Amino acid sequence: MTDPLAIVVRRARAEDLPAILAIERVSFTDPWSRGSFAALLEQPRVHFAVALDGDGGALLGYTVAWFVVDEAELANLAVTPEARGKGIGALLLKGAIEASDARGSEAMYLEVRASNQSAIALYTAHGFSEVGRRRSYYRRPVEDALILRRTVTRHPDTTHDTQRK
């Protein structure tokens, strides 16, 4: 699996949870529980998507974003160790950004370990920039979280003349 065109991205389903949990456990030192993921499956204000190998159907990664009023938060994004560096994370991130834009979000936020340079590079390549730091946010090991934000610049609709004459 190296061809990003052979990747299928779709909404997460209950049958995906075992593979999602396996990726979660190898990706994070404080993993989410099965119940946390299961609770998101049917939530209308949540973008919960998986990336599958189009050739064999193996689950390669997932992302979770939620939306509140005019803001979005990228809450989780992980890819299997074997599939990292092959564009899967970027594909999942683009899907979350598109979902955020479609909902009219003005900004999308996320937190990332200060030492996670590959994730920071991915996020900055997609328009995120650092806006803050949470000291000692992560526990295993203790580490700062960087708060990143991506804002949406909306251009006024120029097809209608709104001036009064």
* Segment 104-158, tens digit of pLDDT: 999 999 999 999 999 999 999 999 999 999 999 999 899 999 999 999 765 555 4
Selecting among 62, 109, 123, 138, the annotated active-site residue is: 123
Structural domain for 108, as ranges? 4-151
62 belongs to a structural domain: yes
162 belongs to a structural domain: no
Instruction: Please provide the average confidence, as pLDDT, over all residues in the chain.
Output: 90
The model's pTM is 0.88
Query: What is the band of 165 on the pLDDT scale with cuts at 50, 70, 90?
Result: very low
pLDDT at residue number 10 = 96
Q: Domain containing 15 — which CATH number? A: 3.40.630.30
Cis previous bond, 44, omega within 30: no
Selecting among 71, 111, 130, 143, the annotated active-site residue is: 111
User: DSSP class of residue 153?
Assistant: -
Sheet holding 107-113, edge to edge: 7-11, 46-53, 59-68, 71-79, 107-113, 142-151, 129-139
165 belongs to a structural domain: no
161 belongs to a structural domain: no
Tokens in use for 128? Answer: 């995120």
Q: How far apart are CA 111 and CA 132, in angstroms?
A: 9
Write out pLDDT tens, residues 3-49: 656 899 999 999 999 999 999 999 999 999 999 999 999 999 999 99
59 belongs to a structural domain: yes
Query: What is the band of 78 on the pLDDT scale with cuts at 50, 70, 90?
Result: very high
Task: Using only the alpha carbons of the chain, give its radius of gyration.
Answer: 17
| 111 counts as catalytic | yes
Structural domains in the chain (count): 1
Whether residue 130 contacts residue 147, with contact meaning beta carbons closer than 8 Å, is answered with yes
